A and B are shown apart, each in its own frame.
Chain A
Amino acid sequence: MIFLRLILTNLRRHRIRSVISIAGIAFSVAAMLTVVTILQGAIGMFSSILSSDSEIIVFERNVSDLFFSNVPDAAVTEIASWSMVSHADPVLFGIVSSADHPIITCFGVTAADARISKATWIAGDKRSFGLHSDDVVLGERAAEFLSAKLGSIVEIGHGSFHVIGVMKTTNGFEDGGVFMALEAAQRFFHKEGTSSVITIKLRNKEDALAFKSMVKTKFADLIALEDAEFTHSYSQFKILKATAWAVGGCGLLLGGLGVANTMIMSVFTRIREIAILRVCGFSNNQIAVMIFGESALVSVLGAFMGLLIGTCFLYALKLVPDLHGYVDVTIQPIVLLIVIALSLLTGVAGALYPAIYAMRIRAVEALRFE
């Protein structure tokens, strides 16, 4: 109890300094949580595009990005004919721009694709998809930012397209995307005869291994991965995740430096007090526990405040109309644990030097210290 009082007393004694330290950790944690969660959400959304009514993705081996993947139509036809395959849907990804929007994702798909056939159409008739090469279907948000509705003509890239439908989807990328018939997309992106990926639905999930083996045998240039495998191994996702943790980590490092500064000041301003504790019989360990306890308390308070701020910020982002569907506020427990553990670790690391300094204080010299 007295131990806790000693820790609390010092934090209370320098309230402003303590609050600044806690705020430093809080904003670092909030930044880390926000960046990591947004990117995890984005990755999850991208994965869900690929796994829409499918469990396996086939794409070109050794490509750094799916936009550069080329899967020949012949492969699509052959794979679709395999008995274990329920359906094989080719998808061509492309990026275009319009006058006010530098990046619009385009999806070249067939009419049978689940993204079209199972989507909620809020305008237009899904049976009309793919009848004309200059027809497009817009995601709801794409329709909003392109100010388009059923029957409008939209300028996308270097072409003009006729809007034949507007779809509602919970996936941010799809909601802000443009869907066109596969053949039209192949011509538009000069990728005739190829698609970016094939999404595969098997009749029996247990055939996944056999399917992957067959792809490997028959198509040396292609690779088949189950959805979970793809999410873990796709290099772009790895880069995004690493970037998110690195950015968050830098933020936390700054917060840690704040804690270190506070703890150094805390020790320097009570050298005499530490000397008195020594005279009263406090051991090095007890002194260190007191210093680490103080920094741990700052870190824990900062972490909880940071989680609160980060969560509120994520919910606020979700409410921004322009970001509709792009921000997934589902905070993964593992992210939560890592963030809390890192903030604690940062706090403890920040207190390392002050604790060592405090342990080395010689009572006889410190008692002369004013």
Chain B
Amino acid sequence: MSIAKIGIGGGSRIVLRAEGVWKSYDEGTISVLNGVDFEAVEGKTVALCGPSGCGKSTLLHLFGGLDSPDRGRISVNNVEINQHCNLLRLLRHEIGFVFQLHNLIPDLTLEENCLIPTVAAGTDRRIARERLQQLTECTGLSHRLGHRIQKLSGGERQRTALCRALMNRPKILLADEPTGSLDEKTSTAVFDLLLDLARTEGITLVMATHDRQLALRCDRLLQMHDGRIHEA
């Protein structure tokens, strides 16, 4: 088994770790992950590349506690997710998700969509609004706060999704094809923003992508193949 360790030097803190993770669907007939080992160091960016169906999204879902592995262990900040005393705490404070489809609630405004994680976490309203202001200024969305999602462009929607994912200051950002539904120019702009925010805020970014050019700009590029991770 190969261990993909992302980070600078051996002393850096590992925030996300997978050990011998197996996952299959349809009662074991479709095997997706075959003993994946993975480590990600605090504040670094890592890209997961690979063909469709190779298990990138599955792995991200496992990292976020949205699904459970058949075998193996996944731990966030040295706490195993399966035995995590509070999965909600993980989703509210430690992990943020960005998907290929923005997954915003269309009838709500940009502001309301972004505030959803703070409502879930019970964050003080004043603090939540300050954070919202900070993030929307960084992403160039501050003039769109009161606009409904239907009124936003594809790039704006994905930037909104990024703001929402970062509202509760997560330590890890899991991005599943975050630019997959955007044109090349918008895709580059959103990715620039994603990298910039991750580095500014010291967030560990794990991103699944098809786009090798974008992947190369991460601190480390990993290739997924046959349900395993290989150094690219």
Contacts and interface: CB of A to CB of B under 8 A. Distances in A.
Interface string B90-111: 0110000101000111011000
A363 B107 CA distance: 20
B88 A283 contact: yes
Contacts of A5: 108, 112
Give chain A's interface residue range (CB within 8 Å of chain B).
20 to 34
Contacts of A125: none
A277 B107 contact: no
A363 B66 contact: yes
A272 B106 CA distance: 12
B61 A2 contact: no
B107 A280 contact: no
B121 interface: yes
Contacts of B168: 281
B85 to A, nearest CB: 14
Contacts of A272: 103
B66 A279 contact: yes
Nearest to A283: B88
A281 B117 contact: yes
B69 interface: no
B14 interface: no
Interface in B66-80: 66-67
A135 to B, nearest CB: 76
A364 B69 CA distance: 13
Contacts of A10: 107
Residue from A5, A281, A286, A362 having most chain B Cβ neighbours under 10 A: A281
A12 interface: yes
Contact of A281 (B67, B99, B105, B120): B120
A276 B164 CA distance: 11
Nearest to B89: A281
A13 B107 contact: yes
Interface string B126-155: 000000000000000000000000000000
B125 to A, nearest CB: 8
A286 B120 contact: yes
B220 to A, nearest CB: 25
B120 A367 contact: no
A281 B66 CA distance: 11
B108 A277 contact: no
A273 B105 contact: yes
A276 B105 contact: yes
Interface in A270-295: 272-273, 276-283, 286
Interface in A97-139: none
Given A279-B66, A281-B92, A364-B66, A2 B105 contact: no
B178 interface: no
A281 B90 CA distance: 8
A13 B35 CA distance: 45
Contacts of A6: 105, 108
B119 interface: yes
Contact of B120 (A12, A13, A273, A283): A283
A9 interface: yes
A82 interface: no
Contact of B164 (A9, A273, A280, A362): A280
A274 B112 CA distance: 15
Given A9-B108, A283-B120, A367 B115 contact: no
B120 A364 contact: no
Contacts of B105: 6, 9, 273, 276
A2 B88 contact: no
A359 to B, nearest CB: 13
B116 interface: yes
A10 B108 CA distance: 10
B64 interface: yes
A283 B92 CA distance: 10
Contacts of A9: 105, 107-108
Given A9-B105, A276-B104, 14 more contacts: A2-B112, A5-B112, A9-B107, A13-B107, A276-B116, A278-B66, A278-B91, A280-B120, A280-B164, A281-B120, A282-B116, A364-B61, A364-B66, A367-B66
Closest 3 CB pairs of A and B: A281-B120, A281-B92, A364-B66
7 contacts: A3-B119, A6-B108, A277-B120, A279-B97, A282-B120, A364-B61, A364-B66
Interface of B: 61, 64, 66-67, 88, 91-92, 97, 99, 103-105, 107-108, 112, 115-117, 119-121, 164, 168
